[in-house]
Amino acid sequence: MHTIPFNPQLQERLALTPDKLSEFCQRRHIRELALFGSVLRDDFHANSDIDMLVTFQSNAKVSLLDLVDMQYELEDLCHRKVDLLTRKSVETSPNWIRRQEILNTARVIYESRSSLPG
C-alpha cells in the first residue's frame, strides 16, 4: 500500500486521513485511486462533489452493488457526495472529450505496493 502524500488543502477537501484512505483501498482490493474534477481546482466549493477514479486489483471480483457500496462508504468518509468511476469505464467511454479530460487531469492518491515499479 502506498498513499501519495497530499497537501493540506486537498486533505481538508477530502476530510480523509491517508491511513483511512489506505485501509479503505486495501479492504476493497483497489490497485489505484485517483481524483479528478473540481476537487483539484480552485472552483471547488462547499457543495462540490468529489470525483474519483478507481482501478481494482486484477483478481478482484467487483459487482455493480460493490461499486455503489464503495461510493456510499466514501461519501461517509469524506462527508460529501462522491462520484466513483472505474478507469475501465472511462477508458472505454465513447465520449472521447470527457475521457481525455479525466485521464489527463486525474491525480493518483493511492497505489498498492504491488502496482509500483521495482
| pLDDT, tens digit, 9 for 90 and up, residues 43-80 | 999 999 999 999 999 999 999 999 999 999 999 999 99
Q: What is the pLDDT of residues 16-50, one digit of tens each?
A: 888 999 999 999 999 999 999 999 999 999 999 99
Scanning the chain, the segments in alpha helix (DSSP H) are 8-14, 18-27, 64-78, 87-91, 96-105
Q: Would you place residue 113 in the very low, low, confident or very high pLDDT band (cuts 50, 70, 90)?
A: confident
Q: How far is CA 58 from CA 44, 51, 88, 111, 112, in A?
A: 33, 22, 12, 13, 12
Q: Structural domain tally of the chain? A: 1
| Dihedral class, residue 52 (left if φ above 0, else alpha if ψ from -120 to 50, else beta) | beta
Structural domain containing residue 7: 2-114
Which CATH number belongs to the domain containing residue 15 in this structure?
A: 3.30.460.10
Look up the pTM and report it. 0.90
